[in-house]
Amino acid sequence: MTRTEDAKGADRGQRRASFQRARSVETKRALVQAAMALWRTKGYPTTTVADICTAAGVSKALFYFYFPRKEDVLFEIGVMSTRSAQETIHRLLDGPYEVGEVVAAALTAFERSMMRNPPELIIEAILEGYRHEHRILAAGGAPESSVDMFTELFERAAADGKLGAHTGPDDVSHLAYLARTLVSEGARHWAADAFGQRSFAEVVTADICALVRGYTHRP
């Protein structure tokens, strides 16, 4: 076989792998969208894996290839909401920024994503997120980067001197963890209508900014 044939074969292999990855993403997205549509109409407890598969037009075997349990789809919904906030933060860090303004924009994007779902589904997704994290930590792993909303922002802010000169990598990691906890608990209380007329973004931005000020002004 010539080098040209080898190159063509490698190119075909890369295209095939890219196509398969795209198909995989599309299938996973179709399952999540089917599940969300059913949960909005039928409710989460009464919707079965078979219902989701029928709506998505896939087999049960394919469902379990992507999601070991029905509850894992809930975790994926939380990841999707977090991703919109991560993208907002990444975009805003391209130019001049203030930490509080970036937090507010990210949480506004997160709130818009949450508002597409009924409150009980949001609460279920948050609780599943806690269970998912507990399983990972119990197995000796680390929390997934897909649910880490603030590390990029706080690392950049620390590098730019916006968190105080004494703020090191461990401080950034802990600050990001605490902020993520405030988001989860804030979303749960918001879904339970505990904030009255105040928005999720308004309340949780104030909480996170207070946390950041505490780090910035530590003695």
Q: Give pLDDT tens digits for 138-169.
A: 877 666 656 789 999 999 999 999 987 778 88
- How far, in Å, CA of 77 to CA of 37, rounded? 12
Which range, 82-91, 130-139, 166-175, has the best average confidence (pLDDT)? 82-91
Helix intervals (H) in the chain: 3-42, 49-56, 60-66, 71-92, 99-114, 119-138, 151-159, 169-191, 200-216
Task: Enter the DSSP assignment of 43.
Answer: -
Q: Quick one: pLDDT band at residue 21, thresholds 50, 70, 90?
A: low
- Burial (CB < 10 A; 0-12, 13-18, 19+), residue 56, is buried
For residue 189, give the amino acid letter. Answer: H
Q: Give pLDDT tens digits for 23-79.
A: 678 898 899 999 989 988 888 889 999 999 999 999 999 999 999 988 888 888 888
Contact 74, 124 (CB under 8 A): yes
User: Among residues of the chain, what percentage have pLDDT more than 70?
Assistant: 86
Mean per-residue pLDDT, 194-204: 96
pLDDT of residue 111: 95
Q: Quick one: pLDDT band at residue 134, thresholds 50, 70, 90?
A: confident
pLDDT of residue 16: 46
Residue linked to tokens 């990972």: 136
Q: What share of the chain is helix, strand, coil (3-state, %, to 5)?
A: 75, 0, 25
Mean per-residue pLDDT, 78-103: 93
Q: H/E element holding 123?
A: helix 119-138
Closest CA to 143 of 159, 132, 158: 132
- How far, in Å, CA of 131 to CA of 70, rounded? 13
Q: Quick one: pLDDT band at residue 193, thresholds 50, 70, 90?
A: very high
**Residue range 68-219, CATH number:** 1.10.357
pLDDT of residue 178: 94
What would the two tokens of residue 184 be?
């989860």
Residue 167 to residues 24, 147, 151, 154, Cα–Cα distance (Å): 41, 23, 13, 10
- How far, in Å, CA of 144 to CA of 2, rounded? 44
Domain range summary for the chain, segments of one domain joined by +: 1-66, 68-219
- How far, in Å, CA of 140 to CA of 138, rounded? 5
Q: Same CATH topology for 1-66 and 68-219?
A: no
Q: Which fold has domain 1-66?
A: Arc Repressor Mutant, subunit A (1.10.10)
User: What is the pTM (predicted TM-score) of this model?
Assistant: 0.79
pLDDT of residue 22: 44
- Burial (CB < 10 A; 0-12, 13-18, 19+), residue 83, is middle
